[in-house]
Chain A
Amino acid sequence: QTVVTQEPSFSVSPGGTVTLTCGLSSGSVSTNYYPSWYQQTPGQAPRTLIYSTNTRSSGVPDRFSGSILGNKAALTITGAQADDESDYYCALYMGSGIWMFGGGTKLTVL
């Protein structure tokens, strides 16, 4: 059973840069999986950040960017701010109408 992998937790200093990744337990993530990224703060529904690997959703600050790094999808936050402290989830489209979410990364800004 394929699993979508993410770092369980990460920390970044205010103003710093952090890259979160999204991989597959078997195989590589490519643009063919249409990786997307979602931000969730406690008690709130997820918010769409990035889709189709590197396209920012409407209203998302340009400090958020997406890419493929090696065999993984990546979400980079440049100039992290306190309100970026959230859980971040990637989602991959596996084909034939099937999706998978990663386990999520809890980002701490301190």
Chain B
Amino acid sequence: EVQLVQSGAEVKKPGEPLKISCKGSGYSFSSYWIAWVRQMPGKGLEWMGIIYPGDSDTRYSPSFQGQVTISVDKSISTAYLQWSTLKASDTAMYYCARQDGAALFYFDWWGQGTLVTASS
């Protein structure tokens, strides 16, 4: 069975760095794009960016370009989302999602989410 398992909740102070993860299993991890999606408290879903583990090709939403870094370690089937300097406004739930592999362009599996709290 396909699974995307995300790392646990994080509580950090503004200004601190952070890296969260999304580990895929039950499928060929290198062959499917992995996206990151933000959901701020009480708000909607926002697409942040996407990475292809096979060659680390990465695309970002203009809203998030330069604010976060998406990376992958295909040897351990894990994608990452990282911040060099957290802001209070980064407080949100973050989901990873797998894009389907049949060029049907949808997200077919979702991680359980990682809650990030940035507060002094």
Contact = CB atoms under 8 A, between A and B. Distances in A.
Given A38-B45, A45-B113, A46-B45, A91 B107 contact: yes
Contacts of B57: 97
Interface residues of B, number: 24
Question: A interface, by DSSP: helix, strand, loop or mixed?
Answer: strand
Contacts of A91: 45, 47, 106-107
Contact of B47 (A40, A48, A55, A100): A100
B35 A99 contact: yes
Contact of A104 (B37, B45, B61, B95): B45
Interface size class of chain A, counting residues whose CB lies under 8 Å from the partner chain: 20 to 34
Interface in B69-114: 95, 97, 100, 104-108, 110-113
Given A97-B59, A98-B59, A48 B44 contact: no
B70 to A, nearest CB: 12
A99 B62 CA distance: 11
Interface string B51-62: 000000101011
Interface of B: 33, 35, 37, 44-47, 50, 57, 59, 61-62, 95, 97, 100, 104-108, 110-113
* 8 pairs of A and B residues whose beta carbons are closest in the complex: A51-B106, A34-B105, A97-B59, A36-B106, A104-B44, A93-B105, A99-B47, A101-B45
